Amino acid sequence: MSEIVRLYRYRSLLGSMRAVPADQLMDVLEISSATLKRDIAKLRDQLHVPIEFDRELGGYKLDPKRVEDELPGLWFSQGEILALVTIQQLLEQLQPGLLGAQLRPLHDRLTLLMEKHGLATQDVAKRIRIVSAGKRIVVAKCFEAIAAATMSRKRLKIWHFNRQNGITSEREVSPQRLVHYRDNWYMDAWCHLRDDLRNFSLDAVTKVEVMEIAAKELADKKIDEAVSAGYGIFNGAPQGWATLKFTPERARWVNGEIWHSMQESKTEADGSYVLSFPYSDDRELIGDIMRFGADVQVLAPPALRSKVQKSFLDAAAKYV
C-alpha cells in the first residue's frame, strides 16, 4: 500500500467518531508502531487532520469540533477558511463568470464552513471591493481553454482580432503565461506564424482550439527579457529611455509609483519629480503620459517628446 493511499485510509477508519486503538490501526494498515507514529505526525502537522488520542477510550479519533472543517483531503482553521473565501471573492471580482462553474462546488462547501464558524459570506463581498476601469470582457469558454492549455502545456489555435488593422488572423501558438495587467487578461505565447514571442489580449481572441501537440517551451529568463524589458504590456527590446518630469503637486502621487522595475528617479530642489525608465513601444506610454496633462513634461528622448507634443496639439485642435 502506497503512503498516500494509506494516509487517506485513516479518514475512513476514524470517520465513525469512535476511538480506534493503535493496535487495530497497525493491524488493518499492516504497519509498525514506528510507521503509525510517523503517519499520525504527518497527518497532524502537514495535512492538518484533527487527530487526537483519547486516553479514556484508549485510541485515536478525530476532534468532533473540527471534523466538519474539511475539504477533500484537507482540514482548515477559521482563518484559513476566511482566506480562501477572500481569494475566491477577489477572483470573482477580477473577471465575473470566468471561473464560476469550476469554483461553485468549492464555494458551496466554503459557505457551509463559514456559516458553521458564524462568518457571513455576504460580508466578504461587502467588505472587499475591486474597482476596475477599462476592463474588457473575455469569453469564459475561451479563457478556460487557454488556461487549460497553458497549464497542460498544449499548443493552441487561436483566431485573434488585431485592433490596429481590424483584421482577424488565425495563429498557432504555444502559451507560456497568463498575465492580468491593468484589469485585463493577456497571454504571453510563442507565435509559430511569426516564429517569435508575442503578447495576445484575451478579449481579442474570438475563437480557440486546444491542440494535441506539446507546446514549445521557453526559458523563464528568455520570457522575462522579452516581455519585461520595456515599459508596459508590449514586448520587445527597449528602443530607449523615457525621462519624464512631474510638477511638485503631481510628484506627491507619482513618487510612490513603480512604472518599471529598472526605473531611476530623483526629486529636484523645487519638489518636481524626474522619472526615467526603458520602453519598447511608445503606444501605451504616450497614453499614460497624456493623462497627466500639464503636470508632466517629456525631457527625453526627442522622438518621444515630439510624438507627445503632436498628440497634445491634435487633441487641443478638437476643442477650438
Q: What is the tens place of the pLDDT at every residue in 282-314?
A: 999 999 999 999 999 999 999 999 999 999 999
Q: What is the tens place of the pLDDT at every residue in 173-220?
A: 999 999 989 888 999 999 999 999 999 999 999 999 999 999 999 998
The amino acid present at 244, given as its one-letter code, is L
Query: Which of the four pLDDT bands, split at 50, 70 and 90, describes residue 71?
Result: very low
Q: What is the tens place of the pLDDT at every residue in 83-103?
A: 767 766 666 666 666 555 666
- Check if the beta carbon of residue 203 is closer than 8 Å to that of residue 152: no
pLDDT at 225: 81
- Looking only at the bridges linking them, the beta strands covering 196-201 and 154-162 are unpaired
> pLDDT at residue 73 above 60?
no
> pLDDT at residue 17 above 70?
no
Q: What is the mean pLDDT of residues 18-35?
A: 91
Residue 216 DSSP label = P
The whole-angstrom separation of Cα 150 and Cα 144 is 10
Give the CA angle between residues 45, 14, 34 to the nearest 5°: 55
> pLDDT at residue 243 above 90?
yes
> pLDDT at residue 63 above 90?
no
Q: What is the mean pLDDT of residues 251-261?
A: 93
Find, among 301, 257, 308, the residue nearest to 286 by Cα: 308
pLDDT at 75: 55
- 33's CB contacts (< 8 A; 6+ apart) are 22, 26
The whole-angstrom separation of Cα 312 and Cα 306 is 10
Q: What is the tens place of the pLDDT at every residue in 117-129?
A: 666 666 666 777 7
Indicate the average pLDDT of the chain. Answer: 85
Domain annotation for the chain: domains and CATH numbers: 3-71 (1.10.10.10), 77-127 (no CATH), 140-221 (2.30.30.530), 240-317 (3.30.70)
